Amino acid sequence: MSVRLILSFLGWFAVTVSPGLAAETNSPGCNITKEERAKFLALSFEQFDQSADQGWRALADEPGQPRKCYLMGARLLREYAKRHKELDSWQRMLITFHSGQIYAQAHSYESAIKQLRKSFAPKEEEWNIYVRATIAFLRYDKPSLLQERTKLAATEQKMNLNVVDELIHHFGESYADAYGAD
pLDDT tens digit sequence for 95-127: 999 999 999 998 999 999 999 999 999 999 999
User: What pLDDT, in 10s, does the model give residues 61-70?
Assistant: 555 444 468 8
Q: What is the pTM of this model?
A: 0.80
Residue 85 has pLDDT above 90, yes or no: yes
Q: What is the mean pLDDT of residues 12-28?
A: 43
Q: What is the mean pLDDT of residues 145-164?
A: 96
Q: In sequence order, what DSSP letters do the residues of 26-79 get, joined into one string?
A: PPTT----HHHHHHHHHS-HIIIII-TTSHHHHHHT-TT-S---HHHHHHHHHH
CB 48 within 8 A of CB 73: no
Q: Which pLDDT value is given to residue 101? A: 94
Q: Which of 48-57, 95-104, 129-138, 155-164 has the lowest mean pLDDT?
A: 48-57
